[in-house]
Amino acid sequence: MNKTIRRAAVFTLLLVIALLVRATWVQFYDGQALADNKNNRRKAIEQYAYPLGDIVVGGNAITGSARTSGGDLAYKRTYTDGELYAAVTGYSSQVYGANQLEGIYQDLLDGTDIRLGTPVDTLTNKRADPGDVVTTIDPAVQKAGYEALGGNKGAAVAMDPVTGRILGMVSTPSYDPSTIAGSGSADAAEWQKLGKDADKPLVNRAIRQPLPPGSTFKLVVAAAALEDGVYSSVDQKTDSPDPYRLPGTVRDLENENKSAPCENASLRVALQYSCNNVFAKLAVDLGQDKVKAMAEKFGFNEEKQDVPVRAYASVYPSGMDKAQTGLSGIGQFDVTATPLQMAMVSAAIENDGVLVSPHMVSQVTDADGTVLQSYDDPGSQRIVSESTARELQSAMVTVVEEGTGTNARISGATVGGKTGTAQHGENNSKTPYAWFTSYATDSATGKQVAVAVMVEQSDAARSEVSGNGLAAPIAKAMMQAALKN
């Protein structure tokens, strides 16, 4: 073989090798990337070629799949009581993707999760039967919260303080995920309508819209004061002038109830009447670092709060001056919280100072019901001492029995709570947010529940907006349902 032919043969061989390498690369690397691309129509066709697995509440599936009448997508997602459970399920759409539980467990629900198939299925790329997601949601609690919120814009979260199980998660106004599940013109029109709605029904207000928590945050400040030893009990008198002048300003911070005994009031009385002067001064005396440390123990500033849907971080700010620190002590300035976060505060107090990680999925299973993963041991952390928790429990009971939270009373149960009316808008020009965070213990069974409610907007006159008037009755309805069941 002469040199020219030999060189041509080697060159041709190299071209063949390069072609084989490229084909292999496309097949096993680029091919998978293309298959996973959200814009790949074949991915949607494969996903909706068969019925999806279900999301389960109270032993019953609240999702399903329906055969489509035409097109290349054989099935679409359906929902039972879609508006009631939208804050739990999220949506699964042939066009707009999936979010919340539908998004997090998409591989499990469409059968592509590697835990579902056999080794042979994995090698042959055979699609396994889909699995199911079993939630912790109590249907009675969910319904009670949804109906009690009614036409108000707001949200509520109920959880078991001992196990961390989320029993109810409601956000209003809601939407029906079934109406955007398909790929038709009606689905597109509904999607556009939801996106343009000023009330933002697609936003899960329970975990995705932190707002000023107002006076409910005073529980965090009180916890910091007791843990730091500033006061030994909730009945010890404080050094709190009324009104309290914010440091470095000419602004006097007054109380809503001008006749309330807030001057030098104890923490119990200050929580009972929601005395701004006491907690603003206490935050200044403690200093922002100590208040922040306590807030972060409860979960504030946590960027990865997964339940398993990721909640937006509730915020206690840094870099404040003393006047701003004082305002932070009453849940104003740049302090924000979600209803989930404020439910966690009450849950930790009710559970004698221990916060069990909140979660709304108990287990995921395969098509035969075999448990693939269980969340029965979510982890816990001591937030405050048992003695501090007991002091705060007692003070919260006083709020409900004799103070600003009387609308949350439940016969046959011990109920503790804290109201909040958070100002917002320039010069407090907009309607305040009404808050209520609480716990209840059944006197006969010992069963416990913690609930937080936020009413962002209602039809009530501005003068009638209060935590007790708007939010406490909603919390009461959810607590009653939880204790009954």
Active site residues: 215
Identity at 7, one-letter amino acid code: R
Start-to-end Cα distance in the chain: 90
Give 283's strand partners: none
Q: How far apart are CA 135 and CA 140, in angstroms?
A: 14
Number of CB atoms found within 10 A of residue 23's CB: 10
Eight-state DSSP code of residue 426 = G
Q: Tell me how many helices (H) and strands (E) the chain has.
A: 18, 20
Among 25, 152, 206, 53, which Cα is nearest to 465's? 152
Going edge to edge, which strands form the sheet with 361-365?
60-61, 55-57, 132-135, 361-365, 371-374
Identity at 340, one-letter amino acid code: L
Relative to beta strand 55-57, strand 132-135 is parallel
Q: How far apart are CA 145 and CA 343, in angstroms?
A: 14
Eight-state DSSP code of residue 337 = B
Contact indicator for 475, 451 with CB cutoff of 8 Å:
yes
